[in-house]
């Protein structure tokens, strides 16, 4: 935790996925005030014609990004992160910004298990250790 899960509407070269994963890890750590080793990135390539929503001109592909994170951050952190995720996905995957949708799910620390124990709730003090 945190976990950023991306469902993609196509197939991408490994180098692009690694670039996107690296950008998202740094982006998350910078904006959400935590250490850069904490974010985990999962990318599922659902392939062409497998991921859609109904847009203004009919069915269109989307990039769906689900962000699981420890609760406690201000709303403006999440808004800034969402904007950064859309920017990164649009640039690296070369898709229109309107295709990138982001959803957040907060969790308390006692819902996250790492290294044999529950993790602590998020605290602004984490930023000092980043």
Going along the chain from its start, the domains and CATH numbers come out as: 3-129 (3.30.429.10)
Contacts 24+ apart (CB under 8 A), 75-81: 77/31, 77/32, 77/33, 78/104, 80/31, 81/27, 81/28, 81/31, 81/32
Local confidence pLDDT in tens for the 130 residues of the chain: 799 999 999 999 999 999 999 999 999 999 999 988 999 999 999 999 999 999 888 999 999 999 999 888 899 999 999 999 999 999 999 999 999 999 999 888 778 888 888 887 787 877 755 5
- The answer to whether the CB of 97 falls within 8 A of the CB of 90 is yes
Query: Would you state the pLDDT for residue 129?
Result: 54
- The answer to whether the CB of 8 falls within 8 A of the CB of 73 is no
Q: How far apart are CA 4 and CA 27, in angstroms?
A: 11
Query: Would you state the pLDDT for residue 128?
Result: 57
- Running DSSP on this structure, what letter comes out for residue 97? G
Q: Among positive and negative, which fits the CA dihedral 91, 93, 94, 96? A: negative
């Amino acid at each position: 935790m945190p976990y950023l899960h991306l469902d993609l509407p196509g197939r991408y070269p490994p180098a692009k996925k690694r670039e996107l994963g690296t950008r998202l890890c740094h982006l998350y750590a910078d904006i959400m005030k935590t250490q850069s080793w904490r974010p985990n990135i999962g990318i599922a390539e659902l392939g062409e014609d497998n991921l859609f929503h109904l847009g203004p001109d009919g069915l269109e592909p989307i990039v769906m990004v689900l962000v699981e994170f420890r609760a406690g951050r201000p709303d403006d952190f999440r808004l800034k992160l969402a904007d950064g995720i859309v920017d990164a996905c649009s640039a690296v995957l070369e898709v229109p910004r309107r295709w990138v949708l982001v959803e957040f799910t907060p969790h308390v620390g006692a819902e996250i298990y790492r290294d044999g124990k529950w993790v602590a709730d998020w605290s602004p003090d984490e930023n000092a250790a980043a």
